[in-house]
Structure 1
């Protein structure tokens, strides 16, 4: 399953990596790919959307599904 999130606050590749690392720690995530220019992250796996949003927000960014 693929889930796309809108993530605001990312401004560089380090930000992308921070978001990807935060999502990698969520149960069910098999891959995450962030794009700071598009303000998006694509998540592969069967993780709960609320858990994905919470992980991104815990990393310091705003996220919506």
Structure 2
């Protein structure tokens, strides 16, 4: 049997560094924005990369068909920084959804 961080009851034990990350995610905020101009996988990649490079961003989920970008941050999202990152990727953030 191979070793794993997961116990038989489905809980996990991790190192202190990983616990800190889990805490940051637990204290995170998800904000969804409407973004215009997205049409394909390249759009998703470009926005994910640009927004993902912002300080405090934990994850980025892009729904091209719905025109939505959900950003999980370690605190309150900075709308101006998000708009600038989306603009840098070549798209337009039109507001919060």
TM band (smaller chain) = over 0.9
Say how many residue pairs are matched: 65
SS in 1 for 2:65: coil
Q: State the TM-score, normalizing by the size of structure 1.
A: 0.92
- Match status 1:42 vs 2:42: no
What corresponds to 2:83 in structure 1? Answer: 53
The gaps in structure 1 that reach 5 residues or longer are none
Q: Pairwise mapping of residues 7-22 of structure 1 onto structure 2 (< 5 A)?
A: 7-22=35-50
What corresponds to 1:27 in structure 2? Answer: 55
Moved over 6 A (4+): none
Cα-Cα RMSD:
0.9
**Which stretch shifts more, 46-55 or 17-26?**
46-55
CA displacement at 1:64 relative to structure 2: 2.4
Higher strand share: 1
Deviations 1:6-64 (A, max 9, x none): 01111001111110110011111000011110000000013411101110011110102
